[in-house]
Amino acid sequence: MYDSGAELYRAWLAGDGTALERLVGAYSDALVRFAHSYTGETAATTTAPARRISAAGCISSQAAGTGSIPPRRKAPRQAPARGKSFPRPQKRLPLPAQGAPALPYGKTHLSPPRGCAAGRIFVDEYRKKGYNRRAMYIDTHAHLNYEDRYGDVAALLHAVRAAGVEKVISVGWDFPSSALAAAMAEKFKLLYFAAGFHPSDCAKMTDGDLDRLAALLAAPKGVAVGEIGLDYHYAGYDEGAQKRAFAAQLELADALGLPFCIHMRDATEDTLRILKDNRAKLTHGGVMHCFSGSAETALDCLRLGLYLSFAGPVTFKNARKQQEAAKIVPDDRLLAETDSPYLAPEPLRGTQNTPANVPLVYKTLALLRGQDEELLAVRIRENAHTLFFKLNNEG
């Protein structure tokens, strides 16, 4: 009656219910013959009922007499219950309200690594907290409090923000630099500050300086005491004065209920000894800034409950020691920084550093640790807000 598949199809459209079944049967026979050419079977080994596929998508038997198949019709859509509506698939998480925390600059969503169930859960929790696409990097240690290093600070911070950096902690090294860091933090929303005496500047300390530091750090954006510690690198250092200033500022941090930032250079043994002797004063936490020690030293610091922060040197090709240490730090004890204007990361080594370069440090840490960069940045952000809890005070 019908000479071709096209005619069978047109007949079915015209209302002939048997035409579709014959059409599907003809194509299924052809497929079976094609399969037999590979398996070596003959058509006789397969029964006709098994070769017939009905329009409904299941096996049918001609012998069973299925009758005609009515034309397909779209199932009617059931009305929703009163007061409810059908759920709509959501292709992208809507952006949260202004001022919510942020995703990486220029990104609309997080992409966890394939097969990373924990990563997916973490990203889901991250989204629930209202983070969006504006920025997510934090530079936990920089020195923007130089009066003549950076030129137009407002323009600098605009570039920093454009690089995806949402917060920067500007760190003092004596009282004037700490006071300037506090003033800049009050002026610029992006900035927070730490106040303290660097070991190389502890000779400048006078009576009453600790009280003045405490007054500065009473500000909502004063997040830590620092940077403090020991530095035996340059000849002529006063070991006794450094140790006294270090211990006194650890006591200050404990009294203020704030964490501290430690500078340690060529003085690992004495630094760890003073920390162990003052273990009762470490309850509010601290960070080994610009960590450059070995994996063994990293473990000693971790046992004291400290965080480890890595800067530009971890990107250097000859930084084997720091890179091995960066691999063993637990996710919840890791921080990142620039230590601007010093120690620019590769490929910018030798230039003046700025917080806009901190994403390069994050990228290197992610590669060393075999982690997704976005997830690592989320983790570091949470670590920074946990240790420097006053970062939660929005400027």
CA 191 to chain centre: 20
**208: its two tokens:** 């009453």
* pLDDT above 70 (res 340): yes
pLDDT at residue 180, as a whole number: 97
Residue 121, in any domain of the structure: yes
326 lies in the same domain as 343:
yes
Q: Which residue has the higher pLDDT, 84 or 96?
A: 84
- At residue 221's C-alpha, the angle toward residues 217 and 224, to 5°, is 50
Respond yes or no on whether the N-terminal peptide bond of residue 330 is cis (omega within 30° of 0): no
242 lies in the same domain as 274:
yes
Residue 316, in any domain of the structure: yes
**Residues 6+ away with beta carbon under 8 Å from 385:** 391, 392
166 lies in the same domain as 37:
no
Query: The whole model's pTM is what?
Result: 0.68
Three-class SS of residue 351? coil
Query: What is the tens place of the pLDDT at every residue in 149-196?
Result: 898 999 999 999 999 999 999 999 999 999 999 999 999 999 999 999
Partners of residue 389 on adjacent β-strands: none
Predicted confidence band at 385 (pLDDT cuts at 50, 70, 90)?
A: very high
129 lies in the same domain as 143:
no
Predicted confidence band at 333 (pLDDT cuts at 50, 70, 90)?
A: very high
Query: What is the tens place of the pLDDT at every residue in 241-278?
Result: 999 999 999 999 999 999 999 999 999 999 999 999 99
Lowest-pLDDT choice from 88-97, 196-205, 377-386: 88-97
**Residues 6+ away with beta carbon under 8 Å from 184:** 144, 145, 153, 170, 191, 193
Q: Which residue has the higher pLDDT, 47 or 27?
A: 27
Residue 225, in any domain of the structure: yes
Residue 270, in any domain of the structure: yes
Predicted confidence band at 376 (pLDDT cuts at 50, 70, 90)?
A: very high
* pLDDT above 80 (res 19): no
Residue 85, in any domain of the structure: no
127 lies in the same domain as 19:
no
Contact 364, 166 (CB under 8 A): no
**167: its two tokens:** 């917060």
68 lies in the same domain as 106:
no
Residue 84, in any domain of the structure: no
Query: What is the tens place of the pLDDT at every residue in 206-222?
Result: 989 999 999 999 999 99
pLDDT at residue 64, as a whole number: 40
Residue 279, in any domain of the structure: yes
Any long-range contacts for 107-115 (C-beta under 8 Å, 24+ apart)? 107/133, 107/374, 108/133, 109/133, 110/374, 110/375, 110/378, 111/372, 111/374, 112/372, 112/375, 113/372, 113/375
163 lies in the same domain as 261:
yes
Partners of residue 171 on adjacent β-strands: 194
Q: Which residue has the higher pLDDT, 83 or 144?
A: 144
Predicted confidence band at 147 (pLDDT cuts at 50, 70, 90)?
A: confident
* Lateral strand order in the sheet of 191-195: 137-142, 165-171, 191-195, 222-231, 260-265, 286-288, 307-310, 334-336
68 lies in the same domain as 153:
no
Its domain, for residue 125, covers: 93-134
Domain of 263, CATH number, reads 3.20.20.140
Lowest-pLDDT choice from 54-63, 140-149, 322-331, 346-355: 54-63
50 lies in the same domain as 184:
no
Residue 80, in any domain of the structure: no
Q: What's the average model confidence in pLDDT over 66-84?
A: 53
pLDDT at residue 9, as a whole number: 63
Instruction: Share the mean pLDDT of the chain.
Output: 80
190 lies in the same domain as 130:
no
347 lies in the same domain as 326:
yes
Comparing CA positions, the residue from 232, 224, 308 lying closest to residue 270 is 232
Contact 12, 71 (CB under 8 A): yes
pLDDT at residue 145, as a whole number: 95
**Residues 6+ away with beta carbon under 8 Å from 43:** 32, 33, 36
* pLDDT above 60 (res 84): no
How many structural domains compose the chain?
3
* pLDDT above 70 (res 94): no
Q: What's the average model confidence in pLDDT over 229-245?
A: 95
* pLDDT above 50 (res 102): no
104 lies in the same domain as 57:
no
